[in-house]
Each structure stands twice: as C-alpha cells, then as structure tokens.
Amino acid sequence: MKDKIRVTVWNENIHERGEGAWADVIRNHYPHGIHNALKEELASPDLEIRAVALDDPEQGLPQDVLENTDTLVWWGHCGHHLVEDSLVDRIQKRVLEGMGLVVLHSGHYSKIFRRMLGTHCSLRWREVGEKERVWVVDKDHPIAQGVPDSFVIPHTEMYGEPFGIPGEAHVVFMSWYEGGNVFRSGVTFRRGQGKIFYFSPGHETFPIYRQPEVVKVIGNAVRWAAQELPNARTVCWDKDPALEPVTSENPMDAVDTSSLHAKA
Ligand code: ZN
C-alpha cells in the first residue's frame, strides 16, 4: 500500500484573475486560487496534495500527474469548453481504471463530469446570496462521517432540482434553500473501477471552501474515492480461451472471421 493518498486539485483559475469588484471579492477569499485554498484546507498527514490549473503545461494534467493521482478534484465554471477533449479522454480512462473523481459546484457542467455520467447534468440555479441547509441523507456513508446531521451555509448560490444526472445516483447529502428549492447536493456514482462524488456547495463569491463542514465533506470524499486496490487495471479486452469444451457446431467454421476483430 502507498503511504499517502495522492490528491490532485484542478481548477480552471479564471474567475480569480478577473477584473472588477466581484473578482476582488473572490481573491479576498482565495488569494492563490480555489485550488490552492483547497490544498491548504485539506492538508493532512495522510494526503499528498498537488494544486494545478488550466494554464499550467498540458492544462495541468500531464500523463505522469494523472498516473500518480489517486483522487482528482475538479473545479471549473466558465472555462469548461477550453478543456481539450484529449485530456477528457485521458481522465475518463484513468477513472475507469480506478482513479477517484470529486467534482465540485459548477463542475456539474464540466466535460469530464458529463462524459462520465452520460447525461446533460443541468439544474436550476439562482444567485441571490441565500441560506442553504445541507442534510446528511446516508449517515453510514464514509463521506458523511464526522459531518453534523445538518449544517448551514450562510450565503450560497442555489442549485435546485431537477438535476439531470442518472437515476442510479446514490444520495449522501440533500440541500434545502431559503428560497424553497431542494437539491441532491452530494451524490456518488461508480464508473468502471472508479468512484465519483459530486458536491454542489462552492460558489466562488462566498468563502464556502473555508467552512469546516464543507472541508470535512471534501476531505472524506477524496479518501473514499481513492482506489483501495492501487494496482487495479481491470479494463480488459483479452480473447478468452473457453474453460469448458464447446461442443456446438459453429455455422461459421468454413469462414475466416479473424479480420472482423482486427483493430482499425
Ligand atoms: Zn457558482
């Protein structure tokens, strides 16, 4: 077993470099970007955390970084379209092989989240600085451990149902908003060997990633999503020799079908 869980926090890091009063507000919460703030907040002896951004070489995720990541955390908003499809391909492959994926807030519209889930992932939203109460739905889930039965985020962006995710979503957290909406705010999925968690809190103009309950959830999630079988590589397309004798007569015996299976 590895000594530490290797976490890579990816952030598009665009709003943080914006101009105007709203950008100053964001920089006040996150002077070095959301990715570095999460790195600071999640710091723990059992985690080896790296913070990367869209404008780093190879969009922050060269292959050796992906290969050495147990859980990838994703924050994006206005730059989803800038993420190269070839990077999405490489992340998807790693998730199917067992890398954990924790998608935060507006990452619900990221290419990688929609790729992994296969649905449109749209939702209702409203930005009026209202209160959100997050409820634990599955108290026994590892991501809910040490999290109060409910907690309040004083000011948030509302994300509301209907949320366009697959019906198989396992709901760990559910949110209620001051304006009356509800939302499946913490949901898990499995894709291949990979575990995926989506958590909606984290609108950039409020210091939500400085709130201990939120940090607790994300910290639990990166540990839960990390592959427990570090060497698992079960994406397997090998030709299989039959274990038992096949006695049926093959109607295709007289025809050579080997080129049907040739790689294009
Ligand atoms: Zn937002």
Number of Cβ within 10 Å of residue 81's Cβ equals 8
| Architecture of the domain spanning 5-118+185-225 | 3-Layer(aba) Sandwich (3.40)
Cα of 104 to ligand 1 centre, how many Å?
Answer: 10
What is the total residue count of the chain?
264
Cα of 204 to ligand 1 centre, how many Å?
Answer: 6
Q: What is the pLDDT along the chain (264 residues), one digit of tens a residue?
A: 468 999 999 999 999 999 999 999 999 999 999 999 999 999 999 999 999 999 999 999 999 999 999 999 999 999 999 999 999 999 999 999 999 999 999 999 999 999 999 999 999 999 999 999 999 999 999 999 999 999 999 999 999 999 999 999 999 999 999 999 999 999 999 999 999 999 999 999 999 999 999 999 999 999 999 987 655 555 666 778 899 999 999 999 999 998 988 876
Cα of 203 to ligand 1 centre, how many Å?
Answer: 4
Q: What is the pTM of this model?
A: 0.93
Cα of 107 to ligand 1 centre, how many Å?
Answer: 9
Q: What's the CA gap between 209 and 192, in Å, rounded?
A: 29
Q: What are the Cα distances from residue 16, in Å, to 10, 12, 123, 154?
A: 14, 9, 24, 22
Burial letters 47-65, b for 16+ CB under 10 A, else e: bbbebbbbeeeebbbeeeb
Cα of 262 to ligand 1 centre, how many Å?
Answer: 47
Cα of 103 to ligand 1 centre, how many Å?
Answer: 13
What is the phi/psi pair of residue 169, to 5°?
Answer: -50, 130
Q: Which residues surround ligand 1, an ion (CB under 5 A)?
A: 106, 157, 203
